[in-house]
Amino acid sequence: MQMAIRAVEIGWGGELIFASGVTWLGRDFARELFARHGLDYSIHLDAPDHIDPPSFDVDISETSRVLGLAPRQSILSLCELMIANDNSTLS
């Protein structure tokens, strides 16, 4: 959140990329996040295991340089915070 606030504060008009530096396939991320809550993601999401998505790399060096900040939390910990703050939508 601090990174987004900083981008607004400095009036940055360029493209900023936010990433954690850890590579995830969407289904692997969903599998891990759902498992942390005792759920099987495949019951809730249609994400076939036999499809290999294209790979890509993200470079956050410009974002870090412009903002003077870098990510401090993983995507899983960020999602856990969001879930903890809005647990009523999970029932």
Residues 6-42 pLDDT 10s: 888 988 887 777 776 677 777 888 889 999 999 999 8
pLDDT at 52 (0 to 100): 67
Distance CA 80, CA 84 (A): 6
| Better-predicted residue by pLDDT, 75 or 58 | 75
| DSSP tag of 91 | -
Could you give the C-alpha distances from 13 to 9, 16, 38, 52, 63, in angstroms and in order? 11, 9, 42, 34, 12
